[in-house]
């Protein structure tokens, strides 16, 4: 799918004016106003994960989307505003939104009107990944929830699964993230599942003549075709087969073998810097460095375009503006 020069220019333009009030964030932000906030979030997240460990992936991706889009907890778990917006969130489980509501409710009982949904999501994402033997990182807090919802921003700000490496790097650069952040954060695909519709173009009609993507291993194409028909919109496929519930470096092993599920995964092999990271971490020995890198990039991403101070609001319910 072609990506117009106008949108590439838009991404660069957004990067210049992507206001970041990260200086308003700090560790221990709720030390005086709600000292038990982080403990409550951690406990509730552990309870959720003990019943549904597969929710870690959508919870992590919700945080990613919240950082890339001026979203700050839109009411998407109630309904999508249009089909284009629904297509922009193909891998998010609606149960993920319910989980955040559950955590928010527990925090509200202790400290009503104090802790934002945006901060809760940032903490839940960290705790969920950690509970899958993944990275952990310090989460500076003090975010405020947005009171503006614009569905078209999802189309301009979220890098879709069909992006090539040039488009991916431009999208990440517009948010102040570099090529290393791109390849490191892509490692989050080590957990979770995807609907067939996010990648079937690579299996059945890649260039419009009924062919498959030559950058995708032919044996893997055959295997995926047994799971997904060309028109399948409901079947879920593991993004990291056999390891999709464990936060590890198996994702890079798959990408190195040309078995990354999305075009955006395969794109990591088309750039010297991202390719070098993939190949050097496609072994168990690369796990320790990856977890450190992931933690660093998550802290960096978590500071993108945040609202702080008197901006925005503290929502009473995460799905609705006050």
Least confident of 91-100, 164-173, 180-189, 264-273: 91-100
Same domain? 132 vs 177: no
Q: Is residue 108 part of a domain?
A: yes
Tokens representing 245 are 């519930």
* Residue 234 scores a pLDDT above 90: yes
* Residue 85 scores a pLDDT above 60: no
Return the sign of the alpha-carbon dihedral for residues 66, 167, 184, 84. positive
Same domain? 176 vs 296: yes
Binding residues for Ca(2+): 66, 69, 85, 190, 240, 248
Q: Is residue 31 part of a domain?
A: no
Same domain? 174 vs 139: no
The neighbour count for residue 165, using CB atoms within 10 Å, is 21
Spatial contact of 89 and 157, defined as CB atoms under 8 Å apart? no
What confidence tier does 158 reach under pLDDT thresholds 50, 70, 90? confident
Total tally of structural domains belonging to the chain: 2
Look at residues 117, 140, 156 and tell me which one is the last residue of a structural domain.
Answer: 156
Same domain? 148 vs 187: no
Degrees to nearest 5, angle at CA 220 with 215 and 225: 110
Q: Is residue 16 part of a domain?
A: no
Quote the pLDDT of residue 97. Answer: 66
Same domain? 205 vs 151: no
Cα separation, 204 vs 223, whole angstroms = 13
Cα separation, 107 vs 111, whole angstroms = 6
Quote the pLDDT of residue 221. Answer: 97
Q: Is residue 275 part of a domain?
A: yes
What confidence tier does 7 reach under pLDDT thresholds 50, 70, 90? very low
- Taking only the tens place, the pLDDT of each residue in 257-310 is 999 999 999 999 999 999 999 999 998 788 889 999 999 999 999 999 899 999
Spatial contact of 264 and 222, defined as CB atoms under 8 Å apart? no
- Taking only the tens place, the pLDDT of each residue in 178-208 is 999 999 999 999 999 999 999 999 999 999 9
Same domain? 167 vs 99: no
Which residues constitute the domain of residue 40?
Answer: 36-156
Same domain? 131 vs 211: no
Binding residues for heme b: 189
Same domain? 165 vs 285: yes
- For the annotated catalytic residues, the residue numbers are 65
Same domain? 211 vs 112: no
Q: Is residue 212 part of a domain?
A: yes
CATH number at residue 51: 1.10.520.10
Look at residues 123, 156, 189 and tell me which one is the last residue of a structural domain.
Answer: 156
Same domain? 172 vs 241: yes
Quote the pLDDT of residue 294. Answer: 97
Binding residues for substrate: 159
Same domain? 55 vs 111: yes
Quote the pLDDT of residue 77. Answer: 41
Q: Is residue 265 part of a domain?
A: yes
CATH number at residue 194: 1.10.420.10
* Residue 14 scores a pLDDT above 60: no
Same domain? 113 vs 183: no
Q: Is residue 8 part of a domain?
A: no
Q: Is residue 135 part of a domain?
A: yes
Binding residues: 66, 69, 85, 159, 189-190, 240, 248
Q: What is the CA radius of gyration of the chain?
A: 19
């Amino acid at each position: 799918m072609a990506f117009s020069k106008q949108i590439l220019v838009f991404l660069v333009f957004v990067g210049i004016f992507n206001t970041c009030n990260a200086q308003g964030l700090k560790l221990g932000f709720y030390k005086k106003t709600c000292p038990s906030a982080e403990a409550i979030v951690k406990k509730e997240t552990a309870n959720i994960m003990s019943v549904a460990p597969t929710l870690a992936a959508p919870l992590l991706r919700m945080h990613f989307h919240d950082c890339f889009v001026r979203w700050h907890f839109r009411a998407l778990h109630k309904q999508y505003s249009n089909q284009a917006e629904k297509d922009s969130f193909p891998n998010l489980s609606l149960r993920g939104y319910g989980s955040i509501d559950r955590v928010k409710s527990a925090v509200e009982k202790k400290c009503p009107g104090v802790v934002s949904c945006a901060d809760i999501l940032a903490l839940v994402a960290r705790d969920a990944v950690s509970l899958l033997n993944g990275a952990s990182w310090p989460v500076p807090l003090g975010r405020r929830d947005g009171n503006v919802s614009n569905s078209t921003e999802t189309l301009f700000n979220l890098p879709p699964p069909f992006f090539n490496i040039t488009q991916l790097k431009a999208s990440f650069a517009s948010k102040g993230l570099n090529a290393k952040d791109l390849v490191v954060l892509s490692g989050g695909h080590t957990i979770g599942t995807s609907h067939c519709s996010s990648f079937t173009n690579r299996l059945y009609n890649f260039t419009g003549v009924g062919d498959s993507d030559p950058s995708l291993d032919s044996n893997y194409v055959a295997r995926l075709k047994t799971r997904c028909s060309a028109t399948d919109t409901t079947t879920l496929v593991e993004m990291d087969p056999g390891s999709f519930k464990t936060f590890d470096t198996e994702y890079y092993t798959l990408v190195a073998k040309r078995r990354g599920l999305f075009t955006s995964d395969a794109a990591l092999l088309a750039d010297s810097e991202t390719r070098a990271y993939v190949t050097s971490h496609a072994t168990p020995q690369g796990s320790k460095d990856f977890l450190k890198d992931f933690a660093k990039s998550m802290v960096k991403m978590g500071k993108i375009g945040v609202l702080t101070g008197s901006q925005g609001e503290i929502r009473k319910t995460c799905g609705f503006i006050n």
